Amino acid sequence: STLMAEYLSAVGIAVADLQVAARFYERALGMTSLQTITLPEMEEIILGFKDTRSAAVILMKYTDGTHIKNNDKVGKLVFYVNNISGTLEAIRDAGCRVEREAKVIDSMGGAIIGFARDPDGHQLELIQKAPKA
């Protein structure tokens, strides 16, 4: 039998302030803080969606002096949302940047997609499924 992963459990991202980041993901995206972990070199807050197998986001705050450069934030976190305009508004209300307003993308089957940044500058791609015809 071939070895393979079953599903993606979590993605970890480095943040400057754990509480600010956790509040953002809770308020703007409706995630829940599931667990706080204190390790010798970092503190973590694990955020997820209750009762789903959706991947969690682990906010990582280094406490050992490790310096995270802001210009190496490549990649993105992709969220399916049920109300993209409301989500982008919540992101703006949190003082964060909307990079691309929501628009219908035909090559994605008519899904509505927008881009924003979290408080630490990580890119967020927000996708609202195309309305059922």
Q: Per-residue pLDDT for 125 more than 70?
A: yes
User: Looking at 20-29, 61-70, 97-106, 118-127, which range is the least confident one?
Assistant: 61-70
Q: Per-residue pLDDT for 7 more than 90?
A: no
CA distance to 5, 21, 26, 57, per residue, from 31 (Å): 24, 11, 4, 9
Taking phi over 0 as left and psi of -120 to 50 as alpha, with beta for the rest, 70 belongs to: alpha
- Residue 51's CB is within 10 A of a number of other CB atoms, namely 6
pLDDT of residue 71: 54
pTM metric for this prediction: 0.86
pLDDT of residue 5: 79
Mean pLDDT of 41-45: 94
Mean pLDDT of 79-100: 96
Beta-carbon-side half-sphere exposure of residue 23 (alpha carbons within 13 Å): 9
pLDDT digits (tens, 9 = 90+) for 13-37: 999 999 999 999 999 999 999 999 9
